[in-house]
Amino acid sequence: MRFASSVIGLAATASTAAAVTAANSGIKGFNYGAFFLNQAAKQQADFEYEFNRAKNLPGTSGWTSARLYSMIQWGTASDVISAIPAAIQTKTTLLLGLWVSGSDQAITNEIAALKAAINQYGSAFTDLVVGISVGSEDLYRDASGEIGVGPQKLIDCISQVRSAIAGTPLAGVPVGHVDTYDSFLNGTNRAVIDNIDWLGFDGYPYWEQTKPNSIGDAHERFYDGFNKTLALAGNKPVYVTETGWPVSGKTVNLAVPSPENARIYWQDIACSLISRGVNLWWYDLQESQWGQADPDFGIFPAGDLNAVSPSYELSC
């Protein structure tokens, strides 16, 4: 029993230390998927091209971080995603993601890729990692009858990740989970919050079709969910891991996609979060490539990122 108590004490200390390093520090970045719309896997050169473009945006600067959804190269069982060497080459910081939905094998494969990345790239990789997200909107999908995981399974995955990084250079990196605010507010998921160092908030007024969600309502919709999540998080930091407004697509209730409305949303939401120093990963840099997204949340339209112009102004 004394041994067990010591282990619990050490775990609590480690969690506290991680929570300290998890504090918001004004990180700015984008979400990056593992494949294009035609299902072709992104290669290292593709990620480097995107990361370098994000660093050189007109009217704004400092977008030097990437949020990933998976550690695994698209189309493989557990190969390390090529975004890792791309981040090393471009000095892009990383909010890692481990995909846990679908099967019990998912987290096993993700951890295998994470360990392989540590062994293969060493400190050149680990020094870039600002956080690890175990899962993405899994609680939301599970509650919606889609392929997700429930709270207890998610907690088990979080525990497996903490065990996997113990004794590695990533041991002190804060571990969190990304989900919708209503998922965090669901009392049955409270135990998940108790087991993470930070909360990742995904907020899209565009999709909130049961409430007033015009671009004029967007500020209230976004900050209503964000502030509720802050209150629920207590002393744990909340990152904004996904938000944006589409430049094209269907109208959802009162939400009209357009470059003009996306500009308003950027100026209102992105700029206010930046001024507050909240860690922010916008959705997203370019969504339509080798296909047309519908709706399209990308700042850039389809085409060569260095040849096309942003669909709206990015100054604050």
Report, as residue numbers or ranges, the catalytic residues.
Answer: 137, 242
CA angle 245, 251, 257 (to 5 degrees): 30
DSSP string across 67-132: EES-SB-TTSSSPBPTHHHHHHHHT-EEEEEE---SSHHHHHHHHHHHHHHHHHHTHHHHTTEEEE
47 alpha carbon, distance to own chain's centre: 16
What's the residue count for the chain?
316
Secondary structure of 239-286 as H, E, C letters: EEEECCCCCECCCECCECCCHHHHHHHHHHHHHHHHHHCCCEEECCCE
**Which residues is 200 bridged to in the sheet?**
178, 239
CA distance 84 to 21: 22
Nearest to 206 by CA among 244, 161, 258, 153: 244
